[in-house]
C-alpha cells in the first residue's frame, strides 16, 4: 500500500493546492501583479523538486511494479525531477513574457496542473491511473497553446494540437480497453504476467493493443507517421508553452512508452526491433531534413525536436538486445528536456525584444543580446552533440548501443549510421543560426535583455556544460534504473 | 437477454471504424471532434461489455473515468473552436493557413 507521505501523493497535494489557489487569489484580490503568481508557483515547484530529491536519498524505493495505482521507483523519480526542472525553467522564462497579458494567474496555475499530470504519468503502474494522468497533463496544455486569444496562429496551433491530442487519447483508451479485455486487469504488472503466457489465438489482439499504444503515445512523442501537428503547434503556441510541450509532455510520452510499450513488447515475446527501428530512422531523417529548409527559428527547432525523438527511440528499439541503449535514452531525455527548453526560452527572449523569429532577422544577436545568444548557441551545440557538452555523451551511448546490438541483427548498424549522419546534418542548420548571430550584421545597438530569460540561460549553460564535463552522476543513476526495471521484469 | 460478448465487440468495432472514417474524410473541426467522441465511446462500450463478462469490474470504473475526462476534453475543445470561429468565421481546419513551413 502506498503511503500518504510518498513522493507522488505529496506532489499531487502540494502542486494541486497551489494550482487551485492561484485563480482564487486572482478572483478575490484585484490588481495583483503577475509576479506574485509566478513567485508562488516557482516556490511550490522548487520545494517539490527538493522534496523529490530528499525522498530519493532518504526513503525506501519501491519496486517498479506494484498492485497499487502508483509506485515510487527510480524511473519515476528521474522523470519527476526532469519534469519539475522543465516546469521551473518555463515558469521563470514566463515572468517577462506574461507580464503585460491578462489572466496570468490561470496561466501559471495551468502549468502547475499540467506538471502534476506529467509527474503522475511517470509514477503510474495502472492503466486507469496512466490514462487519468495523461489527460491531466494534456488538457491544460490545449488551453495554454491557445493562450494568446487575439493571435490567429495561437488559435490555429491550439485547435490542431487539440484535435490530434484528443485523437491520441481516444486511441490510447481503445488500446487500454482491448488490453483489459484480454488480461482482465488494468494493473501493468498483471498485464505483463498475462501477456507473457498469452495464447497464440489472442496474440494478434495483443499486438493490436500495443500498436495502439505506440500510435497514441507516438502522437505526443512526435514520431514520424504521427508528427503532422507538431511543427504548426510549436510555431503558433506562445514560445514558453512550446518549451513546456517540447521538453515536458513529449518526455512524458516517453515515460509512458518505457513503462508500457517496451515492457509489453518484451512480455509478448514478439520482435518489435524492426518496427521501432524503422520508425526511429524515419523520424530522425525526416525531422532533420525538414529542419534544414526552415526560415523560422521556432519551426526549425520544432523539426529538430522531431529528429531528437528518433534518436531517443534508438534506445527503445534496441532495449532487449542492449541495456546501454535504454540508459542512453533516459540520459538523452533529460539532456534534450533541458537543451530544448533552454533553446525555446531563448526564443522567448528574442520574441519579447525583437518580435520576430525569422533567422534572417536575428543577425548580430551575439553583440546585441550576448547572454541570450550564448545560451542559444550552447544549447544548439549541445543538441548537435558537440563533444564537451552533455548531448554528446547521450548520443554516444545511443549510437554505441546500436553498434552493440548490431552483432545480433546486422541491419541495426544502419541505426547508428543514420544517427551519426543526421547529427552531422543537424550541425549544418544549427551552425547556420550561430553564424547569423555572431558573424553577420553590423547593427551594434545593444538590447536590454529580460532578467528572467538571463537567469534561465545561465542555469541551462551551467547544466549543459556541467553535465557535459561530469556525466557520471546521471549515467550511474540511469544504470540503477535499468537494473531495477530488469529485476522487476524477472 | 442473451447477447454474447461478440455482439458488443462488433458494435464497438463498427463505431471505431465510423470514427476513423470521420477523422479521415471530414475537415470541419466540430465533425472531427465528434468523430473522436465516437471512438472514445466505442472504447467505453468495450470496457463495459468486457467488465460484464469478466470476474473483475474495474473496467466499469475506467469507463466512468473516461466519460468524465471526455466531457472535460470536449468542453476545452468546443471553447477552442468557438474562439477560432470568432476569428476566422469558419471552423474548417483546412482553411486555417496562418502557419506553414
A204 and chain B in contact, CB less than 8 A: no
Q: Confirm whether A429 is domain-assigned.
A: yes
A219 and chain B in contact, CB less than 8 A: no
Alpha-carbon dihedral angle through residues A143, A83, A460, A90, given to the nearest 10 degrees: 20
Euclidean distance between CA atoms A310 and A478, whole angstroms: 20
* Contact yes or no for B98 and A236 at CB 8 A: yes
Residue B1 confidence class, pLDDT cut points 50, 70, 90: low
* DSSP code for A450: P
Question: Looking at beta carbons, which residues of chain A come within 8 Å of B32?
Answer: 163
Q: Confirm whether A379 is domain-assigned.
A: yes
Rounded to two decimals, the pTM is 0.93
A152 and chain B in contact, CB less than 8 A: yes
Quote ipTM for the complex. 0.95
Q: Confirm whether A174 is domain-assigned.
A: no
Q: Confirm whether A363 is domain-assigned.
A: yes
A1 three-class SS: coil
Give the number of domains in chain A.
1
* Contact yes or no for B69 and A181 at CB 8 A: no
Number of Cβ within a 10 Å radius of residue A473: 10
Of A128, A132, A135, the CB nearest to B73: A135
Grid cell locating B90: 469558419
Q: Confirm whether A253 is domain-assigned.
A: no
Q: Confirm whether A321 is domain-assigned.
A: yes
Residue range(s) defining the domain that contains residue A341: 271-490
Of B51, B58, B72, the CB nearest to A139: B72
Residue in A with minimal Cα distance to B89: A152
Q: CATH topology for B5-95?
A: Helix Hairpins (1.10.287)
Averaged pLDDT, groups of 10, chain A, 490 residues long: 81 93 89 86 94 86 77 89 93 88 88 93 90 94 91 89 93 92 87 85 88 91 88 92 92 89 76 86 92 90 92 86 87 93 93 86 85 92 89 91 83 88 91 88 77 92 93 90 81
List phi, psi (to 5°) of A70: -125, 155
* Contact yes or no for A177 and B54 at CB 8 A: no
Of B66, B76, B88, the CB nearest to A143: B76
A211 and chain B in contact, CB less than 8 A: no
Predicted pLDDT at A439? 86
Buried/exposed A87-120: b ≥16 CB within 10 Å, e otherwise: bbbbbbbbbbbbeeeebbbbbbbbbbbbbbbbbb
Grid cell locating A360: 534572417
Residue in A with minimal Cα distance to B54: A184
CA distances from A166 to A20, A178, A220, A254, B49 (A): 24, 19, 11, 18, 23
Among B residues 36-75, those touching chain A with beta carbons less than 8 Å apart: 36, 39-40, 42-44, 46-47, 50-51, 54-56, 58-59, 61-62, 65-66, 69, 72-73
Q: Confirm whether A211 is domain-assigned.
A: no
Q: Confirm whether A446 is domain-assigned.
A: yes
Indicate the domain borders of chain B.
5-95
Interface A-B: count of C-beta contacts within 8 A: 132
Euclidean distance between CA atoms A395 and A384, whole angstroms: 9
B22 and chain A in contact, CB less than 8 A: no
Of A128, A152, A294, the CB nearest to B98: A152
Predicted pLDDT at A17? 94
Predicted pLDDT at B100? 62
Q: Which of B24, B32, B33, B36 to mutate to test the interface with A (most CBs of A within 10 A)?
A: B36
* DSSP code for A60: P
Number of Cβ within a 10 Å radius of residue A430: 24
User: Do A384 and A429 touch, CB atoms closer than 8 A?
Assistant: no
* Contact yes or no for A159 and B76 at CB 8 A: no
Amino acid at each position: 500500500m502506498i503511503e500518504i507521505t510518498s513522493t507522488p501523493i505529496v506532489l499531487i497535494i502540494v502542486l494541486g493546492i497551489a494550482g487551485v489557489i492561484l485563480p482564487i487569489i486572482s478572483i478575490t484580490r484585484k490588481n495583483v501583479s503577475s509576479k506574485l503568481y509566478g513567485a508562488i508557483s516557482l516556490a511550490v515547484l522548487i520545494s517539490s523538486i527538493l522534496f523529490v530529491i530528499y525522498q530519493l536519498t532518504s526513503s525506501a524505493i519501491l519496486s517498479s511494479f506494484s498492485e497499487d495505482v502508483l509506485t515510487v521507483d527510480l524511473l519515476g523519480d528521474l522523470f519527476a525531477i526532469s519534469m519539475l526542472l522543465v516546469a521551473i525553467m518555463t515558469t521563470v522564462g514566463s515572468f517577462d513574457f506574461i507580464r503585460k497579458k491578462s489572466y496570468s494567474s490561470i496561466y501559471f496555475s495551468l502549468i502547475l496542473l499540467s506538471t502534476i499530470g506529467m509527474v503522475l504519468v511517470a509514477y503510474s503502474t495502472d492503466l486507469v491511473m496512466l490514462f487519468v494522468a495523461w489527460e491531466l497533463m494534456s488538457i491544460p496544455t490545449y488551453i495554454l497553446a491557445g493562450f494568446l486569444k487575439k493571435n490567429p496562429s495561437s488559435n490555429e496551433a491550439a485547435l490542431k494540437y487539440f484535435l490530434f491530442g484528443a485523437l491520441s487519447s481516444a486511441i490510447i483508451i481503445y488500446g487500454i480497453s482491448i488490453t483489459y479485455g484480454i488480461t482482465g486487469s488494468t494493473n501493468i504488472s498483471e498485464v505483463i504476467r498475462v501477456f507473457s503466457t498469452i495464447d497464440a489465438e489472442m496474440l494478434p489482439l495483443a499486438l493490436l493493443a500495443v500498436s495502439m499504444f505506440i500510435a497514441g503515445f507516438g502522437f505526443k512523442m512526435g514520431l514520424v507517421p504521427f508528427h503532422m501537428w507538431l511543427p504548426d503547434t510549436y510555431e503558433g503556441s506562445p514560445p514558453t508553452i512550446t518549451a513546456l510541450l517540447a521538453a515536458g509532455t513529449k518526455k512524458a510520452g516517453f515515460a509512458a512508452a518505457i513503462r508500457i510499450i517496451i515492457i509489453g513488447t518484451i512480455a509478448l515475446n514478439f520482435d518489435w526491433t524492426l518496427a521501432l527501428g524503422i520508425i526511429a530512422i524515419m523520424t530522425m531523417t525526416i525531422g532533420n531534413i525538414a529542419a534544414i529548409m526552415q526560415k523560422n527559428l521556432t519551426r526549425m527547432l520544432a523539426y529538430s525536436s522531431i529528429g531528437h525523438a528518433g534518436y531517443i527511440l534508438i534506445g527503445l528499439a534496441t532495449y532487449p538486445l542492449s541495456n546501454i541503449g535504454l540508459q542512453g535514452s533516459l540520459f538523452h531525455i533529460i539532456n534534450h528536456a533541458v537543451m530544448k527548453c533552454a533553446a525555446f526560452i531563448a526564443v522567448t527572449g528574442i520574441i519579447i525584444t525583437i518580435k520576430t523569429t525569422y533567422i534572417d532577422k536575428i543577425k548580430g544577436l551575439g553583440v546585441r543580446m550576448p547572454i541570450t545568444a550564448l545560451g542559444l548557441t550552447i544549447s544548439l551545440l549541445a543538441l548537435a552533440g558537440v563533444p564537451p557538452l552533455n548531448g554528446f555523451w547521450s548520443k554516444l551511448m545511443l549510437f554505441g548501443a546500436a553498434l552493440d546490438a548490431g552483432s545480433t541483427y546486422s541491419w541495426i548498424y544502419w541505426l547508428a549510421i543514420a544517427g551519426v549522419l543526421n547529427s552531422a546534418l543537424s550541425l549544418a542548420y544549427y551552425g547556420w543560426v550561430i553564424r547569423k548571430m555572431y558573424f553577420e550584421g553590423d547593427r551594434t545597438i545593444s538590447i536590454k535583455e529580460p532578467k528572467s530569460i538571463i537567469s534561465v540561460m545561465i542555469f541551462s549553460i551551467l547544466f549543459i556544460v556541467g553535465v557535459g564535463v561530469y556525466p557520471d552522476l546521471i549515467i550511474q543513476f540511469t544504470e540503477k534504473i535499468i537494473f531495477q526495471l530488469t529485476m522487476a521484469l524477472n | 437477454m442473451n447477447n454474447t460478448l461478440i455482439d458488443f465487440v462488433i458494435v464497438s468495432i463498427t463505431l471505431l471504424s465510423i470514427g476513423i472514417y470521420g477523422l479521415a474524410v471530414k475537415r470541419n473541426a466540430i465533425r472531427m471532434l465528434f468523430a473522436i467522441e465516437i471512438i472514445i465511446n466505442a472504447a467505453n462500450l468495450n470496457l463495459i461489455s468486457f467488465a460484464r463478462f469478466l470476474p473483475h469490474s474495474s473496467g466499469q470504473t475506467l469507463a466512468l473515468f473516461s466519460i468524465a475526462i471526455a466531457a472535460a476534453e470536449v468542453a476545452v475543445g468546443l471553447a477552442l473552436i468557438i474562439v477560432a470561429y470568432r476569428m476566422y468565421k469558419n471552423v474548417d481546419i483546412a482553411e486555417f493557413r496562418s502557419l506553414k513551413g
